[in-house]
């Protein structure tokens, strides 16, 4: 089985490539240099040349705040780029897995979001990713849309690495305690994608590590695991604060917690609890100290 991974140099792209390769898939990892998804002709040529059975489409414009001042850039990658991948894949009969986001919801729900709740994105990023979902639905016959949230991994920059660095540098650290979500370790997500593509249970899925927490509670756990697993000396005094104290160009959802209805209904294995994912991340970091603060 041949799998092409777009955005293969990103957090999820690298782990998806590694996880699939380890179990024997023939994986073609394409970064921006190898595959410009915004160029329809080039996108079609590259995908046609590789002729994959499955495309895991991780490439995306993910800079949430930057998207607010670069709407064209966000839609070019997340909507038009996804259309180009979808059209190219459909010509070959290729299955597409599109990685989407909790930002397609407004974040105001009192309960967890199921796959079939109405979407109402409040940011350019969220709207452009929802447009990408629509491109997949419109142009692909065989597709999985997988929404995830609060992603962290060994490769690249993310919240966990930032907190590890600041926790050792700052005397005091304020973290918002009124936004709730589900942190997701990219290796756990990649393993879920591995299981998913072995089926024909096409459709829309919510896939994050199970359980939920606030960013403040997540940071508390990060510091605890860093001390226990890595032996790091965390000196920062951690304090909770409100979203209003840290205004950002793009509004953050108060509630990003997604229910995994489709995973249950399709009798697939759910992702482990976020705390287990965080612990495993720290153990994996221990094996790769060169990635601590990158």
Q: Which residues are catalytic?
A: 125
Query: How far apart are alpha carbons 255 and 110 in whole angstroms?
Result: 8
The alpha carbon of 45 is separated from its chain's Cα centroid by a whole number of angstroms, namely 27
In sequence order, the β-bridge partners of residue 146 are 99, 205
Q: Return the C-alpha torsion angle 105, 109, 112, 113, nearest 10.
A: -30
* 49 exposure class (CB count in 10 Å sphere: 0-12, 13-18, 19+): exposed
What does the DSSP 8-state code read for residue 32? Answer: T
CB 113 within 8 A of CB 257: yes
Phi-psi region of 150 (alpha: psi -120 to 50; beta: other; left: phi over 0): left
Give the residue among 247, 180, 191, 188 at the shortest CA–CA distance from 218.
Answer: 180
Q: Which helix (H) or strand (E) holds 73?
A: helix 71-75
Residues 6+ apart with CB under 8 A from 125: 61, 62, 63, 64, 67, 68, 74, 78, 101, 103, 250
């Amino acid at each position: 089985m041949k799998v092409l991974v777009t955005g293969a140099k990103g957090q999820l792209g690298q782990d998806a490539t590694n996880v699939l390769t380890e179990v024997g898939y023939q994986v073609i990892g394409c970064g921006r240099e190898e595959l410009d998804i915004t160029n329809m002709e080039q996108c079609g040529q590259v995908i046609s040349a590789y002729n994959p059975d499955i495309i895991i489409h991780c490439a995306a414009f993910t800079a949430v705040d930057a998207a607010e001042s670069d709407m064209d850039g966000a839609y070019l990658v997340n909507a038009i780029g996804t259309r180009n991948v979808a059209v190219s894949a459909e010509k070959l009969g290729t299955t597409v897995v599109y990685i989407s986001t909790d930002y397609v919801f407004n974040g105001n729900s009192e309960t967890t979001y199921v796959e079939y709740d109405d979407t109402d994105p409040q940011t350019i990023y969220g709207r452009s990713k929802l447009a990408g979902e629509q491109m997949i639905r419109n142009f692909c016959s065989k597709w999985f849309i997988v929404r995830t949230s609060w992603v962290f991994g060994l490769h690249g920059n993310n919240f966990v690495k930032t907190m590890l660095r600041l926790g050792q540098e700052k005397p005091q650290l304020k973290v918002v305690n009124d936004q709730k979500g589900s942190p997701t370790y990219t290796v756990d997500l990649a393993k879920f994608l591995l299981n998913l593509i072995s089926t024909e249970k096409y459709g829309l899925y919510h896939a994050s590590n199970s359980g939920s927490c606030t960013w403040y509670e997540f940071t508390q756990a990060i510091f605890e695991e860093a001390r226990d697993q890595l032996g790091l000396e965390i000196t920062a005094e951690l304090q909770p604060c409100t979203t209003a104290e840290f205004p950002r160009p793009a509004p953050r959802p108060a509630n990003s917690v997604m229910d995994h209805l489709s995973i249950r209904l399709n009798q697939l294995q759910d992702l482990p609890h976020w705390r287990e994912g965080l612990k495993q991340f720290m153990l994996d970091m221990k094996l790769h100290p060169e990635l601590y603060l990158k």
